[in-house]
Amino acid sequence: MISIKNLHASIEDKEILKGIDLEVKAGEVHAIMGPNGSGKSTLASVLAGREDYDITKGSVTFENEDLLELSPEERAQKGIFLAFQYPVEIPGVSTTNFLKTAINQVREARGEKALDAVNFLKLMKEKMKLVDIDQSLLSRSLNEGFSGGEKKRNEIFQMAMLEPKLSILDETDSGLDIDALKIVADGVNKLKTKDTATIVVTHYQRLLDYIVPDYVHVLYKGRIVKSGDKSLALELEEKGYDWIKEEVAAV
């Protein structure tokens, strides 16, 4: 589905990603772990199209198309979804209105007919159950005054509404208590199909108890330095990141 080759990215002349190679196929869940400052969130942002970063080398193809050529909205329209680490508060824009605009722009780009109010509400009701989100929250200004858990749930709710092919969860677990974590993970699992893929960016192994990855990659100093299956995550949980750092230093 997505193929990342030798990807280099920098911000203000500081190189953050120093040659990432990653291949994610439909139906797979990949976890990207790593210590703070290793470049995990940069990778997520670059894939979603944040323009603060300069891509200096490498390529990303998404369903055989050059992803790096596309604007953030085109990427979303083609089926990429980023669940933000820090969802932005937007005063005066209700989640409902915002999502209606978003869905209909995505549908328009895909050559589909716009959803009318009735069908939109039907879809919303159905997806609200999935992440146990309350109607009153959705009529409020987008993320404004939401608790951390509410913001993250709202991200997964948006993901459910937009039905992306590739979902990138950027530290969706950080700051969540165990109940909120379960709700979020449960939502993600229910949305998984054989045609969709998920990249889970996380600092902690905890989330991976609930969203079980097929592959685990360790990102360190802008490179993937180790890949394995879910047992790698457990090993990291037990031993921390120091042994990885030592291994890299020894090479």
Partner 1 sequence: MIREETTILDQLTSSFQGNKTQKEALEMLNEIGLPHKKSEAYKFTPITSILKKNIDFSATAENIFDAKKLYEEEGSHLVFINGIFSKDHSKFSNTLKFEVGDVTEGKHDPFSLLNTAYAAEEVRIESGQEAPVYVYHFNSNGMSNPRIKVTIKDGHTFRLVEKLITPEDTKTFTNSYIEFSVGKNAFGYHTKVQNYNDATYSHETVVADVAKDSHFYNNTFSFEGAMVRNNLTINLDAENCEGHMYGLFLLDKKSHVDNNTSVDHMKPNSYSNEMYKGILDEKSTGIFNGKIYVRQDAQKTNAFQSNNNILLSEDATLHTKPQLEIWADDVKCSHGCTSGQLDEDAIFYLRARGINEKNAKAMILKAFALETMGHIKVESIKDEVQQLIDQKLT
92 binds partner 1 (CB under 8 A): yes
CB 199 within 8 A of CB 165: no
Residues 197 to 216: which contact partner 1 by CB under 8 A? none
Considering the complex, state which of residue 151 and residue 203 has its C-beta at the smaller distance from partner 1. 151
Shortest separation between residue 146's beta carbon and partner 1, angstroms = 13
98 binds partner 1 (CB under 8 A): yes
Residues 215-234 touching partner 1, rule: CB under 8 A, are none
Residue 191 within binding range of partner 1, rule CB under 8 A:
no
Question: Which has the closest alpha carbon to 18: 2, 34, 1?
Answer: 34
Q: State the Cα–Cα distance between residues 13 and 176, nearest whole angstrom.
A: 34
Binders of partner 1 in range 41-60 (CB under 8 A): 48-51
Site string for partner 1, 155-184 (x = CB under 8 A): ---x---x----------------------
In the complex, least distance from residue 104 CB atom to partner 1, rounded to whole angstroms: 9
* Cβ nearer to partner 1, comparing 146 with 220: 146
- Min dist CB 50 to partner 1, Å, is 6
Residues 81, 84, 90: CA angle, nearest 5 degrees = 105
Q: Does 34 bind partner 1 (CB under 8 A)?
A: no
Query: CB under 8 A: which stretch of 6-14, 85-93, 146-154, 216-224 binds partner 1?
Result: 85-93
Contact set for partner 1, span 99-118 (CB under 8 A): 99, 101-103, 105-106, 109
Residues that bind partner 1 (CB under 8 A): 48-51, 71-73, 75-77, 81-82, 84, 87-88, 90-93, 98-99, 101-103, 105-106, 109, 141, 158, 162
